[in-house]
Chain A
Amino acid sequence: MNFAVLQFPASNCDQDAIHAIRLLGHSARYVWHKENSLGDADAVIVPGGFSYGDYLRCGAIARFSPVMQAVKQFADNGGLVLGVCNGFQVLTEAGLLPGALVRNRDLQFHCEHIFLKTVTPDSPFSNKIPAGKILRVPIAHGEGCYFADEETLAKLKAGNQILWQYCDVDGNLTDKSNPNGSLQNIAGICNERRNVAGLMPHPERACELALGSDDGKWIFESLFAALKNRTVTVAA
């Protein structure tokens, strides 16, 4: 499979994403933010970092970049798009995912490993995660507190769109295991159509044991499996 990994000024997890995808046996290449096209891509990763210096709001400037218009088209055509950390913020700002990410409740930047519970295997981003498996992956953000109004939150739940929640080592959704104050411990969601997802934790930084955990690979393996099962080619 061929992944397009976006590069904005001050993206800093783009190389990690490329490394992880290649390590797992697939191909990946950078797509610069000024590009109008994604070229030949089976899926898109919007990586972490501090695109455009986080000016105005995280992701607010990136969403207007030329490449994001191509990503929007790609997503509208049903293409798979995964946003990680700042990528999640960009996707919410772009309106491709509901809600918003605001300042962590304790105003601290959190850089640590956390535990994630997968809410549903019913998505291209979670279908290969073993049932009941608690993922241990790192986070590194200052503005990862997920917020949505009550109506949006109810719709997310009804549509089974919450994909990951912060939990403790045993899978309990406790307040203590919630690193940033996200509503309902939400760490990652998908859109209604289930082809666009975003999460604050970094699966690409947890794909090999040398990095302390390889649990992140299950998210990528899910993507690979979903792409393999697809018969329709998507172009943008």
Chain B
Amino acid sequence: MKAKIIITPKKAVVDPQGKTVQVALEQMGHQGIKAVHVGKYLEIELDGTDREAARKKLDEAAHRFLSNPVIEDYKLEIE
């Protein structure tokens, strides 16, 4: 099994990295970009086959450790 966790800055938090990337893209000629958000991607390789048990454990880890709920949101997928 593999878990994929995508962590993004919360909308209320200023994201200067995203803003800078957006400006750079625009300078390169890309048009129609509404916003860019720079986050993190984690891939976790897992033993076992019990997806629900893995999801429960990793959900807790993502909330408590892998992301900071004050400033970040996360999305967890298990495949």
A interface residue numbers (CB < 8 A to B)? 56-57, 60, 64, 92-93, 99-100, 102-107, 145, 147-149, 181
Contact A148 B70 (CB under 8 A): yes
B interface residue numbers (CB < 8 A to A)? 9, 12-14, 16-17, 20, 65-66, 68, 70-71
Q: Mind listing 19 A-B residue pairs with CB under 8 Å?
A: A57-B68, A60-B68, A92-B70, A99-B70, A100-B68, A100-B71, A102-B13, A102-B14, A104-B16, A105-B14, A105-B16, A107-B16, A107-B17, A145-B14, A147-B13, A147-B14, A147-B71, A148-B70, A149-B70
Max chain A CB contacts within 10 Å: which of B17, B20, B66, B68? B68
Task: Give the residues in chain A near B9, CB-CB below 8 Å.
Answer: 102
Task: Give the residues in chain B near A104, CB-CB below 8 Å.
Answer: 16
Having A60-B65, A102-B9, one finds 11 other A-B pairs with CB under 8 Å, namely A60-B68, A93-B68, A99-B70, A100-B70, A103-B16, A103-B17, A107-B16, A107-B17, A147-B70, A147-B71, A149-B70
Task: Give the residues in chain A near B71, CB-CB below 8 Å.
Answer: 100, 102, 147
Task: Give the residues in chain A near B12, CB-CB below 8 Å.
Answer: 149
Task: Give the residues in chain B near A92, CB-CB below 8 Å.
Answer: 70
Whole-angstrom CA separation of A180 from B37 in the bound complex: 19
Task: Give the residues in chain B near A56, CB-CB below 8 Å.
Answer: 65-66
Task: Give the residues in chain A near B68, CB-CB below 8 Å.
Answer: 57, 60, 93, 100
